[in-house]
Structure 1
């Protein structure tokens, strides 16, 4: 399969989602051709079969391919009008072994929409893979890529689809295409240059992938926990900030359609998801009135159909209308707001969200939502009274949106200064210390991932600070991380304070976590030899391995005493690294660690427990 075929396949996914052909399978098969159709089958199959091997997929993909050939014959069977999802489900159900090992027997006993719903529900229950993964060296990947591009693509799609069963297929294939471009660029160079190219481009690619996957996951968590109301509010802020030239009715119409795509896309119903995405972009890009005023949207609508959605999502805010006032005076408009609020509260709040968002692209969604939440309480208290304006003014005394935005920006600037001072590794270590203090019940694997993601967030968002988008970048991503903690883990098993924050409203979770103190009620494990990673494996120059061992050390120390001082952490860390340097300089690394490790543990225990 060539990388061009993946591009064609992306287009095909979008076209087939809205196809009303009498022979949908043949339509898809003809456009995709052999390699494209097989890639489509591979995504659909791998996402439903997490315990399968690539070799298990071969006969199933071949079966789907044979059906494509048959549907394009002179006398196609009547069932060729079914959608592609049904075709892939039939392929899965034809393998008794895979059906049994994947616990899909009950789904395969159903037919039609009931079977589709069952498969969707099955995918939603597949656990996310949180394990640490090691990747092949760049030279090995380039060698594999050059030898067998088709096989390399298949393996990439298969692994990525299995690890991300709820990710929309068009996103998986777009990521595949992007990674192929990295390989095509770097692997054509001499070995030394290829390695440098890989080291430069791959981290950027990986960050972009993590960012995209986390964004989609976070939106789905929000939709599942808080429903369409919060999703609509978030999207209204996001796109009002991007397109301040669009009117409130125009923006409301766009956002309503975006919200319609969220539930099917998050549920795993990918055919319906892609159908609604196509309808959304067709309608938005077909609105000439909006396009004539929104330059960024106009540019995105000129992109290829498969790139339009991601272009709009990445779009920077357009210039504000010249007639737009700098600030929105809530109190001046209180009579009209209350008139609307008493009849349709959500409509009044949506108008308020829009008015603030178009004026403040530098704000985060969460700051605006916290302000509107306070305004809502004031409206509930005051809109039925005669002195509406005076009542609202009193109720919202000290609640100034401009002040809130400024305070939050200053907080994140301080975090960026800390990130710049500590550098990446030490900043990441400081994050695992903080989160181990407040949730010591969490496993190292969980907190390692949290601290790594936090470091990624600040590294990326702090670079965006000069452009004025530090706050929306940082708080959105931090909120996403906290939402993932509350969603992925059994937060009730941590401690009551974490559970309390996880049950807060969407916009107040981050401030709640930030206000937590070290868990003083945690019963700590003893400080023993296996608290520290100590052995010959520390004698390496691999930065990632050394960072991991350093984080394990800090995790063990903080769990032993959640209020351990920073000075004690620094002292023990320095002693630990001194022991490592000494033992790694000896001939018998193992003997040295065996002798020195108990001393370090004993000295550390005395220091911590003073």
Structure 2
């Protein structure tokens, strides 16, 4: 990230004599360019809130090989390790270190160089070296440098700013150039169309390929323990490079800092386990933990990127604003805005596949997900390091709950802060929106003022309701904004607003009622029968999903109930909504890749905050036409008697799914009758000494009775 401070002298007398129109056009262009530069260099949002970010070139330089490998493996997952290494070597050769007169030993992050005035020229990165006094501490494109410029006229300044913007984006384009430069590789993996484009269009095209590119890549599995130990001892660098390559090509949306963090964990684990007596058990235990973190972390990162891509950065900022306000309810609005801006920017860079920026800015980490998966904390700890340090430096104004956390070592600090309680709400929070927001003359606000008004509403409402689910608060805010828009047209705006605020409660009541109903049902039925209820419901909603997909989806629902319903009742809604948001997000990704039905499409695309209520309200896909009946869909043999536990449950669930797909409008009475008939059939044949003969004889009879009962 680049920070620029400009000190402009008074304009020369000659400049004052320019025609008014020319002067106006120059001024507008200057302001426009400066705004672009600041948005990139200072990470300021449209309201000018300064960022807390401080990028580190050193962290990037140390991990250049890993970052390049991650970038290429994620963009071209079908490429071999040899192909990835060739592209990596090409790029690392192109990204040369500064020449002797520009190099000052080690990372330049903390070094300061003062140069005498000299003509404007470009360094080896083709980035500008300014013609006046320059104070810098890094090379263009790969670090944070501060330029204090003093120019006799604005033209040189415009040129420098233009070049700075270009160079700030250079580190990503060099990777995309390399992918497209290898014509044989781009044609082999189907990227020719993307490579025929340029700039942002090419970048977006290659990003789109990441969603579909790795169908041929086999699931990740670690090599045998003895083989791993031998390879590690022979060549540690080559071994770890392959680990990063294999992980990155399979987890294409996982953020680079998380991959590097997990790789570092594994790098420390292997030599220890290889010397242990129980070598295989030692490695197996650690690998299982890493594999779990990879799967969950990748799902979370992909979900965030999908939300950002479909609903935009403002939606992501709103989510982050709610979480920060709930975590730190005593912090003022300005402080929360700074944190929100930084976290949203990190996600944007990581989701663009920009591993360099993701690592540099990603030192602040994935704080948006503070309340997310506890098991994912290790993969995130490095990327949260700097923001946690910043939070500790500001704990007097942020939170009273983290004092003990801030005494801990770095490795324990992040985990402690993330899982610390939300701070106590400050005294005197007004229950009235008038007390919170003051005069709500919404109709007279400008577009930007309306955005800030709603941001302030989210902040105040979230810090007053720290137990509410993020998605519920988003729904409340959406309704509140609609009320304000409607009432701004009313003759009596105040009365209209007060009456409309009663509508806000419906979102809270709906979520709490659903959570209470689900927990009561889970407690009554237990895991298996609870899943059965949802299997029937979701097969009706989405019959286009395969049996395996439906079973996996409903198992996640069981897991949510098992986890959330153990909490106190006031936490049921927030826990359930957060978990549902994640699995619904992946259902929507599934729909995006291969459309399911119009109902799911509407729910996934119309409104982020309303996705869960929308899908909950679906009953049956009216566009679905059941296939012609086929007895082959109902496999009845002695395997049903021999299977046990999870395997038996899965076989029964597959039969149930096929039954519902055949008759989506099956009544409860029909279902009970068919189930009772099947149970009697299974008991009879499994007790028969000639099981195979029994299934062969009685199976067709059962199918005939079932068809008659259902009318299919």
Task: With the length of structure 2 as denominator, give the TM-score of the two structures.
Answer: 0.66
Is the Cα–Cα contact under 8 Å of residues 217 and 250 in structure 2 kept in the other structure?
A: no
- In the TM superposition, what is the alpha-carbon distance from 1:603 to its structure 2 partner? 2.6
* Mapped partners of 1:132, 1:556: distance in 2: 30
Of 484, 501, 523, 1:379 maps to: 484
Aligned to 1:3: none
* Mapped partners of 1:581, 1:272: distance in 2: 62
Q: Alpha carbons of 1:72 and 1:175: their partners in 2 closer, same or farther (altered >3 Å)?
A: same
Aligned to 1:318: 422
- In the TM superposition, what is the alpha-carbon distance from 1:39 to its structure 2 partner? 4.4
1:171 aligns with 2:273: no
1:292 aligns with 2:396: yes
1:337 aligns with 2:440: yes
Is the Cα–Cα contact under 8 Å of residues 142 and 183 in structure 1 kept in the other structure?
A: no
Residue correspondence of structure 1 range 95-494 to structure 2 within 5 A? 97-105=184-192, 118=202, 121-128=205-212, 142=225, 145-146=228-229, 148=231, 157-176=244-263, 198=285, 209-278=294-363, 282=386, 285-286=389-390, 290-293=394-397, 294-295=399-400, 314-325=418-429, 328-333=431-436, 335-338=438-441, 342-343=445-446, 344-383=449-488, 387-397=492-502, 399-400=504-505, 404-405=507-508, 408-463=511-566, 465-466=567-568, 468-490=570-592, 494=596
Q: Alpha carbons of 1:539 and 1:126: their partners in 2 closer, same or farther (altered >3 Å)?
A: farther
Secondary structure of the corresponding residue to residue 502 of structure 2: coil
Q: Alpha carbons of 1:393 and 1:233: their partners in 2 closer, same or farther (altered >3 Å)?
A: same
- In the TM superposition, what is the alpha-carbon distance from 1:329 to its structure 2 partner? 1.3
Is the Cα–Cα contact under 8 Å of residues 144 and 152 in structure 1 kept in the other structure?
A: no
* Mapped partners of 1:600, 1:583: distance in 2: 12
Is the Cα–Cα contact under 8 Å of residues 341 and 348 in structure 1 kept in the other structure?
A: no
- In the TM superposition, what is the alpha-carbon distance from 1:559 to its structure 2 partner? 0.8
Is the Cα–Cα contact under 8 Å of residues 255 and 355 in structure 2 kept in the other structure?
A: yes
- In the TM superposition, what is the alpha-carbon distance from 1:576 to its structure 2 partner? 5.1
1:332-382 Cα shifts (integer Å, max 9, x gaps): 456423369734112222222111211222111122122222222222233
Is the Cα–Cα contact under 8 Å of residues 124 and 267 in structure 1 kept in the other structure?
A: no
Aligned to 1:515: 617
- In the TM superposition, what is the alpha-carbon distance from 1:560 to its structure 2 partner? 0.8
1:204-251 Cα shifts (integer Å, max 9, x gaps): 766655443333223222222222222221111111111112112211
- The number of aligned residues is 570
Q: What's the C-alpha RMSD, in Å, of the aligned pairs?
A: 4.7
Residue correspondence of structure 1 range 4-19 to structure 2 within 5 A? 18=55
Q: Alpha carbons of 1:306 and 1:73: their partners in 2 closer, same or farther (altered >3 Å)?
A: farther
* Mapped partners of 1:252, 1:242: distance in 2: 13
* Mapped partners of 1:511, 1:52: distance in 2: 41
1:559-596 Cα shifts (integer Å, max 9, x gaps): 11112234544554565567667777889877765555
* Mapped partners of 1:54, 1:205: distance in 2: 22
* Mapped partners of 1:98, 1:491: distance in 2: 24
Is the Cα–Cα contact under 8 Å of residues 285 and 291 in structure 1 kept in the other structure?
A: no
Task: With the length of structure 1 as denominator, give the TM-score of the two structures.
Answer: 0.76
Secondary structure of the corresponding residue to residue 214 of structure 1: helix
Aligned to 2:626: 524
Of 547, 551, 560, 2:653 maps to: 551
Q: Alpha carbons of 1:147 and 1:50: their partners in 2 closer, same or farther (altered >3 Å)?
A: same
* Mapped partners of 1:268, 1:355: distance in 2: 34
Is the Cα–Cα contact under 8 Å of residues 320 and 358 in structure 1 kept in the other structure?
A: no
Secondary structure of the corresponding residue to residue 397 of structure 1: helix
- In the TM superposition, what is the alpha-carbon distance from 1:49 to its structure 2 partner? 2.1
Moved more, 267-276 or 289-298: 289-298
Is the Cα–Cα contact under 8 Å of residues 123 and 166 in structure 1 kept in the other structure?
A: no
Secondary structure of the corresponding residue to residue 423 of structure 2: coil
1:527-570 Cα shifts (integer Å, max 9, x gaps): 32222344566576574443433332222111111122345445
Of 32, 46, 49, 2:76 maps to: 49
Structure (1 or 2) with the larger CA radius of gyration: 2
* Mapped partners of 1:132, 1:97: distance in 2: 20
Secondary structure of the corresponding residue to residue 441 of structure 1: coil
Secondary structure of the corresponding residue to residue 165 of structure 1: coil
* Mapped partners of 1:85, 1:307: distance in 2: 33
Q: Alpha carbons of 1:157 and 1:135: their partners in 2 closer, same or farther (altered >3 Å)?
A: closer
**Structure ranking higher in helix proportion:** 1
Is the Cα–Cα contact under 8 Å of residues 378 and 392 in structure 1 kept in the other structure?
A: yes
Aligned to 1:14: none
Is the Cα–Cα contact under 8 Å of residues 346 and 364 in structure 2 kept in the other structure?
A: no
- In the TM superposition, what is the alpha-carbon distance from 1:461 to its structure 2 partner? 2.9
Gaps spanning 5+ residues in structure 2: where? 1-53, 104-122, 126-138, 143-170, 366-383
* Mapped partners of 2:240, 2:705: distance in 1: 53
- In the TM superposition, what is the alpha-carbon distance from 1:491 to its structure 2 partner? 9.3
Q: Alpha carbons of 1:366 and 1:109: their partners in 2 closer, same or farther (altered >3 Å)?
A: closer
Is the Cα–Cα contact under 8 Å of residues 76 and 249 in structure 2 kept in the other structure?
A: yes
Is the Cα–Cα contact under 8 Å of residues 99 and 105 in structure 1 kept in the other structure?
A: yes
Is the Cα–Cα contact under 8 Å of residues 96 and 124 in structure 2 kept in the other structure?
A: no
* Mapped partners of 1:466, 1:592: distance in 2: 51
Aligned to 1:5: none
Secondary structure of the corresponding residue to residue 453 of structure 2: helix
